Amino acid sequence: MSTLAARRTHIPGEPGIWLFVLGDMVIYAIFFLFYAYARAQEPAAFAASQALLNEFFGVANTLILLTSSWFVVKGVQAARTAPGAAHARWFKLAFACGALFCLSKAIEYTVKIQAGLTITHDGFFMYWWLLTFFHLSHVLIGMTVLVFMWRAVQAGRTHVLLLESGATFWHLVDLLWVLIFPLLYLARSTT
């Protein structure tokens, strides 16, 4: 193997956060596979229940979280190149996106409950409620982390490692929803 100039690599954040992130990804993958297996047992029934979902919620939530991740990336970039209390605004913007997501979820959950589409309604909705609620708990934790991040930046305690760790967790929250939305709202195959 060539020993020419070693490639300088970098892992953002504390290594521990990556252990957690990868572990969480494995747990979710297993959860997704349980859902997919259940769906494969009764594709027509699942497709019929899926059709009761409002895709606008799903799309809106995806756009909200993708944008929040962009804000977080910009915030970390700013903290690295020119540390300053002003950069806290990026994390506040990301937090605002998280709050919007929660509001959207609250509305969607209310509509579903009023329609009787609760967690015990059928197999599909059991998975829908469990997956989205489990994800929502991650969003709430992420929002708490964002608060810590912006307060640290405002107080001039810009430890880039802390910001990178929080950012990594937030991107996890984003990427999980990026999979949940198509899986639960869009992909149906009855052939």
Partner 1 sequence: MSALKDRVTWVWLALLAVTFGSWMLGGSGDATFATAASILMLSFFKVRLIVTHFMEVREAPLGLRLACDAWIALTLAALLWTYA
Judged by the rule CB under 8 A, the positions of this chain that interact with partner 1 are 9-12, 18, 22, 25-26, 29, 32-33, 36-37, 39-40, 43, 47, 55, 59, 62-63, 66-67, 69-70, 72-74, 77, 167-168, 171, 174-175, 178-179, 181-183, 185-191
* Spatial CA neighbour of 188 closest among 12, 44, 30, 6: 44
CB-nearer residue toward partner 1: 8 or 120:
8
CB-nearer residue toward partner 1: 81 or 114:
81
**In the complex, what is the shortest distance from the CB of residue 7 to partner 1, in angstroms, rounded to a whole number?**
9
**In the complex, what is the shortest distance from the CB of residue 95 to partner 1, in angstroms, rounded to a whole number?**
17
Beta carbons of 129 and 119 less than 8 angstroms apart: yes
Q: Which positions ≥6 away from 190 have C-beta within 8 Å?
A: 43, 44, 47
Q: Which positions ≥6 away from 53 have C-beta within 8 Å?
A: 128, 184, 185
CB-nearer residue toward partner 1: 77 or 137:
77
**In the complex, what is the shortest distance from the CB of residue 109 to partner 1, in angstroms, rounded to a whole number?**
21
Beta carbons of 35 and 125 less than 8 angstroms apart: no
CB-nearer residue toward partner 1: 2 or 114:
2
**In the complex, what is the shortest distance from the CB of residue 49 to partner 1, in angstroms, rounded to a whole number?**
13
* Spatial CA neighbour of 128 closest among 179, 180, 61: 180
Structure tokens that stand for 14 in this block: 């504390």
Alpha-helix residue ranges (DSSP H) falling in 82-122: 88-114
Beta carbons of 123 and 46 less than 8 angstroms apart: yes
Please provide residue 190's backbone torsions phi and psi, each rounded to the nearest 5 degrees: -110, 10
**In the complex, what is the shortest distance from the CB of residue 12 to partner 1, in angstroms, rounded to a whole number?**
5
**In the complex, what is the shortest distance from the CB of residue 166 to partner 1, in angstroms, rounded to a whole number?**
12
CB-nearer residue toward partner 1: 113 or 186:
186
CB-nearer residue toward partner 1: 158 or 168:
168
